[in-house]
Structure 1
Amino acid sequence: MSAPLISGIQQVGIGVQNVPEAWKWYRQILGFDVPVFDEKAEAPLMTPYTGGAVHQRHAVLAINMAGGGGLEIWSFTSRVSQPAAFRAELGDLGINAIRFKTRDVRKAHEWVQSRTNNSAGDLVRFPDGEGFWGNDPYGNTFQITGDQSWFQKTDKAIGGVSGVVVGVSDIDKSLAFYKSLLQPLEVVYDKTGFFKDLPASVSGQRFRRMLLRKSFTPDGAFSRLLGDTNIELIQALDREPKKIFENRFWGDCGFIHLCFDALNMDALKTKLQSEGYPFTIDSERSFGMESAAGRFAYLEDPDGTLIELVETHKLPILKKIGWFLDIQKRKDQKPLPDWILKLMSLSRVKD
């Protein structure tokens, strides 16, 4: 088997109207308190998804040092970020929910309930284990489940991003896309019917659900931090799903993209293009985001959900003393030593 071209989920983008306010909630409740970058700038390469115009934005990429992917909390500053004109449901086309990891589901449930005025749902039995649903103050749905892949033990009840739930119109077409994108990829389950573990808002609706998992492999500088990748595809069978970002811009309110950590962008681009999945945006060179830098690209899944790919070139380790790691100078794709990544926690924002 050839070496993986993606190590895991780097982050999920969340469009909000007020970045400082939203980031405070994600810090205090979900533990995303270490910033990789915090920048206000223009987004000149994203014009295909922002109405053909260059817009200004404020973005923070924050991580949870227990392990897992991060969150890119994003807002327009040149216009007001727009919410969807309808309430999105599971099965609508796009990213439906983020999946966060926990070592102890019941402890995490108690934590969220006590800190958010009971915004978490009841404990349920998902097809692959116990967990629960919840909502942030901005109308976004999340799922918290147990997980076996951790970077380090912390005092946090909840870890980083372990996956997403994606609404699709045809699971088989989406499966082909993700198989092309990720390797090795396992189908954990493929079920059709009525599901008691789904939120009450979709009670009585039939779905087909498929959980895909790329288990951790030691490929990539950040692979030990990112851990396993879980993608649940969900297809509504009793209704015509709506496109969550129909007639809106990338960066508007909601889950704006799913971003993977790419290991060899040139090889990945060639592979995906040959299989019918062309890049729609490619920075082609290193693009700076405050003190971080990398080559980034976008493509779309079969339903138009935006997938971002980032090949990291420069990573801030200790911003206060100007220590940055040049990933391009590394001779191999082995994981970085844990102690180097753990130093990033010294930049933690404390409330």
Structure 2
Amino acid sequence: ISMNGGGGFEIWQYTSRTAQNADFTPQLGDLGIFIGKIKSYNIEASYAHIQQFGVTILGTITQAPCGRKHFYMNDLWGNTFEVIEEKTSWHEQKNFSTGGVFGAVIGVSNMEKSLPLYTTVLGFDKIISDTTAVFADWQGVQGATKKMRRVVLRNSKPREGSFAPLLGDNEIELVQVLDGYTPRKIYENRLWGDCGFIHLCFDIKNMNALQAACTKAGHPFTIDGGAGFEMGEAAGHFTYIEDADGTLIEFVETKKIPIFKKWGIYLNVAKRAPNKPLPKLILKALALGRVK
């Protein structure tokens, strides 16, 4: 996680088998999470910084249809990331010009069928841009020569909850190919944990209410880990749903997190008012648990 703000990453590696790549080259419009979004408060500084590490940068800084500057790159394993400027949603602005996860680019087969889950259940109810073209700003990204529709969604209301000041705003970009190409599922014939973006995770409150909303919308929980799940030093309740094309979305209702693990100090988040953010001092204390 970045203390500048934004979502976090979980990086997984099998210990019992070798993670498999897709047996084809995934591209824009294929079904699933194709690009991870990272936010930057100084896009030129981010571009220059990342260039120092020999990362494969896909083109130059360009302007997205929503009006913000951005660029794309691949990590060592071929995962594509978009670094995009964000001016307002920051917890801190220290050390790096980038923050954490800002969202994802998700391929869908039918935009109108896919939108209700994201706009209604997940709350991304504000359309920032809805454009159709062969996009110049995508040139260099796999599959960019096709005509596509891309819809960028954000929340109309500020985020609430214990970690809202740290996680900040976020956005979802849905992409549909329109020129006759038949998209493939990025994870077809593969397992959870194989190479790529496995799922998109949301920190939530009131799992029971969310379950009812998902079921009503036609996206019932496919996995329910129960309220007593523990992972390392944290504890919570996790569940999964699938979007209209089978893309995995995880929900986590955090119950307990370590603050000062060395001294056995934990925070019971479950006892707090669900919409009340944690004090800034507590959020800053999370950095003390950094593993170096």
CA contact (8 A) 1:218 1:335 kept: no
Instruction: Write the mapping of 1:130-209 to structure 2, written as runs, cut at 5 A.
Output: 130-147=69-86, 148-183=88-123, 185-200=125-140, 201-209=142-150
Q: Which of 214, 218, 225 is equivalent to 1:283?
A: 225
> In the TM superposition, what are the counterparts of 1:30-179 in structure 2 within 5 Å?
63-117=1-55, 119=57, 121-128=59-66, 129-147=68-86, 148-179=88-119
2-structure distance, mates of 1:198, 1:218: 29
Once structures 1 and 2 are overlaid, which stretch shifts more, 153-162 or 248-257?
153-162
Question: 1:227-238 to 2 correspondence within 5 Å?
Answer: 227-238=168-179
**Are residues 1:334 and 2:276 paired?**
yes
Counterpart Cα distance in 2 of 1:74 and 1:291: 17
Cα separation, 1, equivalents of 2:43 and 2:11: 25
Distance 1:179 1:117, change over 3 A: closer
Contiguous gaps of at least 5 residues in structure 1 = 1-62
**For residues 315 and 215 of structure 1, what CA distance do their matches in structure 2 show?**
29
Secondary structure of 1:88 counterpart: coil
For these two proteins, the number of residue pairs brought into alignment is: 288
Tell me if the contact between 1:216 and 1:227 (Cα under 8 Å) persists in the aligned partners. no
CA positional deviation for 1:204 = 2.8
- Cα distance in structure 1, aligned partners of 2:113 and 2:266: 41
Pair 1:308–1:117, CA change in 2 (3 A): closer
SS at match of 2:50: helix
Q: 2:189 aligns with which of 230, 242, 247?
A: 247
**Equivalent residues of 1:216, 1:228 under 8 A apart:** no
Bigger relative contact order (CA 8 A; separation at least 6): 1
Give, in whole Å, the separation in 1 of the partners of 2:197 and 2:274.
Answer: 33
**1:119 aligned partner, one-letter code:** I
Matched-pair contact (CA < 8 Å) for 1:284–1:295:
yes
Partner residue, 2:290: 348
Letter in 2 for 1:231: I
Aligned-pair distance for 1:117?
4.9
The structural deviation recorded for 1:80 is 1.4
Aligned letter for 1:284? G
Amino acid at match of 1:145: I
Deviation at 1:286, TM superposition (A): 2.0
> In structure 2, do the counterparts of structure 1 residues 221 and 142 end up closer, same or farther at CA, with 3 Å as the change threshold?
same
Residue 39 of structure 2 aligns to a residue whose secondary structure is strand
Aligned mate of 1:315, from 249, 257, 261: 257
Distance, in Å, in 2 between the alignment partners of 1:120 and 1:293 is 39
Counterpart-to-counterpart distance in 2, 1:105 and 1:68: 16
Kept after mapping to 2: 8 A contact 1:100/1:158:
yes
Q: Deviations over 1:148-203 (max 9, x none)?
A: 20011211121001110001101111111112322262011111111100133334
Q: Percent identity among equivalent residues?
A: 47
- Alpha carbons of structure 1 residues 223 and 82: separation in structure 2 relative to 1, 3 Å: same
- Listed as ranges, the gaps of 5+ residues in structure 2 are none
Measured after TM superposition, the shift of residue 120 of structure 1 is: 5.1
What is the identity, as a one-letter code, of the residue corresponding to 1:243? K
How many angstroms apart in 2 are the aligned matches of 1:109 and 1:304?
33
Given that 1:215 and 1:227 are in contact with CA atoms closer than 8 Å, whether structure 2 keeps it comes out as no
Q: In proportion to residue count, which structure has more strand?
A: 1
| Distance change (3 Å), C-alpha of 1:125 and 1:218 | closer
**CA offsets, 1:198-247, max 9 Å, x none?**
13333431000000002562521011111112000001112001100001
CA 1:193–1:226 in 2, change beyond 3 Å: closer, same or farther?
A: same
Distance 1:100 1:326, change over 3 A: same
Output the CA distance in 1 between the equivalents of 2:144 and 2:275. Answer: 45
Q: Distance in 2 between matches of 1:117 and 1:140?
A: 11
Contact 1:112 1:118 in 2 (8 A): no
Tell me by how many angstroms 1:307 deviates.
Answer: 0.3
The normalised TM-score by structure 1 is 0.79
The root-mean-square deviation of aligned C-alpha atoms, in Å, is: 1.4
